[in-house]
Structures are given as C-alpha cells and as structure tokens.
A and B are shown apart, each in its own frame.
Chain A
Amino acid sequence: ELKVEQNPLFLSMQEGKNYTIYCNYSTTSDRLYWYRQDPGKSLESLFVLLSNGAVKQEGRLMASLDTKARLSTLHITAAVHDLSATYFCAVDNTGNQFYFGTGTSLTVIP
C-alpha cells in the first residue's frame, strides 16, 4: 500500500520566519496535491503538481515535486497568522484514490 509521510507533524513558527514542510511517499507517482484544512472545516485545494520538477507558488506558499526522490516540499515564506492551519499532502494512486499524509499542524505566533 502506498505510504505518505509528512514532517513535521506540528510546527510552531514566528511571524516573518520561513519554514518547509516535507512530504515523502513510497511508490512512484507523478501526481501530488497539497490541501489546507482549518479547524472544523473541509479541505481546500492549494496546489496540484503533475510532473517531476513542478513548482507552484501562491502568495507566501511554494510547493515543489521531485518524483525521483518521491518528495514534495511546501515552503512558507515570511509566515503570517492567517497561514495557521493543518496542511496535507496527498498522492493519487490513479482512479481518484488519494493517499493522504498525516498532516502538519502549523501555528504562526505573532
């Protein structure tokens, strides 16, 4: 079964700082997705990465994909409080069966 690991599980960072969340997965896949979840809410799509070397940026978030290393990163630049949420990566096993990581709970401290 495809395994998806994220680290760290919990991240507390100060406003203005940079940090990276890592997502490793166990089998070959060219599709990786990042989602955000606020407490008590649903999953909001952030990035869709569809090929090796793909890089997407939106505001203070940038995601990249290295399919050879089976690694995706979500980089946070100059964090602000509004970014506090849980972030999930997910890998598509074809047929719309997503395997999700454990999630990274991010808290941005003023």
Chain B
Amino acid sequence: KAGVTQTPRYLIKTRGQQVTLSCSPISGHRSVSWYQQTPGQGLQFLFEYFSETQRNKGNFPGRFSGRQFSNSRSEMNVSTLELGDSALYLCASSSGWGATGELFFGEGSRLTVL
C-alpha cells in the first residue's frame, strides 16, 4: 500500500512569508506527527494529531501550527518565516493503536528560507 506522501518536496521562501506543508498518511493510519530536522538541532518533535485532535506539541513557537482533517490528512503551517526555519520537515504516520507505536515517515518537505 502507498506510503506517507508529503507535498511539496522542495520549496523556497523569503523571510516573513508563510508556508503550508501537506501530509497524507498511510491508508488506515489515524495518527500523524511532524518533525523538524536540521543539522544543528537534529530531529525535533513538532506536534502529533489523532482523529483531528492535537494530542502533543513540542517546544516550538506559536508560528508553527498544524491541523488534521477528517480523512487523516494533515497540514502544518509556519508563519512569519525566519532563516532558522530552513529545515527538512518530516511527517510520520502510525495506526495510533496497538503496542508497537512504530512511525512511518514520508520523504519530507525541504524548506529553504532566504
């Protein structure tokens, strides 16, 4: 079955702009989480949604927001972009049930802020 799909794969923005990233989870998965990956900070948790509800939020400013739709697709938004927001943004899905908790990651959206 199809994996986690993220769009767009690459984008370039300038400071002050905003960006919206999209994620379609594996069919049947109801949990979607987002991670930011940078060379300096590594992989950091942004937030996690399950059945349209945010269950967890990482330590990021309010400029970072997200939502999940009834079909489990998710979007994250970053407003007033800063240079430091340049990163690979990874979406991951899981079933949200059962014992394994394994996350399946998409290919990521690489954001460059100029």
CB-CB under 8 A from B96, the residues of chain A are 96
* Given known contacts A43-B90, A96-B31, A97-B33, A33 and B45 CB-to-CB distance under 8 angstroms: no
Q: Count of chain A residues with Cβ under 8 Å from any Cβ of B?
A: 22
Chain A, 29-63, contact with B by CB distance < 8 Å: what is the 0/1 string?
Answer: 00101010000011111001010000000000000
By secondary structure, the A interface counts as strand
B100, A102: Cβ atoms closer than 8 Å? no
B107, A96: Cβ atoms closer than 8 Å? no
B90, A98: Cβ atoms closer than 8 Å? no
CB-CB under 8 A from A90, the residues of chain B are 43
A99, B102: Cβ atoms closer than 8 Å? no
Nearest CB to that of A102 among chain B residues? B42
A103, B56: Cβ atoms closer than 8 Å? no
Determine the distance from Cα of A50 to Cα of B44 in the docked complex, in whole angstroms: 22
Contact residues on B (Cβ < 8 Å of other chain), bracket: 20 to 34
Determine the distance from Cα of A90 to Cα of B108 in the docked complex, in whole angstroms: 18
Total CB contacts across the A-B interface at under 8 A = 58
Chain B, 82-104, contact with A by CB distance < 8 Å: what is the 0/1 string?
Answer: 00000000101010100111111
Determine the distance from Cα of A41 to Cα of B44 in the docked complex, in whole angstroms: 17
Chain A, 94-110, contact with B by CB distance < 8 Å: what is the 0/1 string?
Answer: 01111111110000000
CB-CB under 8 A from A97, the residues of chain B are 33, 45, 48, 56, 58
B45: contacting residue among A42, A88, A98, CB under 8 A = A98
Closest 9 CB pairs of A and B: A100-B43, A43-B105, A42-B105, A95-B56, A42-B107, A97-B56, A96-B48, A92-B101, A48-B102
Binding site for A on B (CB under 8 A): 31, 33, 35, 42-45, 48, 50, 55-56, 58, 90, 92, 94, 96, 99-108
Extra pairs beyond A96-B50, A98-B103 (10, CB < 8 Å): A42-B105, A42-B106, A48-B102, A96-B33, A96-B94, A96-B96, A96-B103, A98-B33, A98-B43, A102-B42
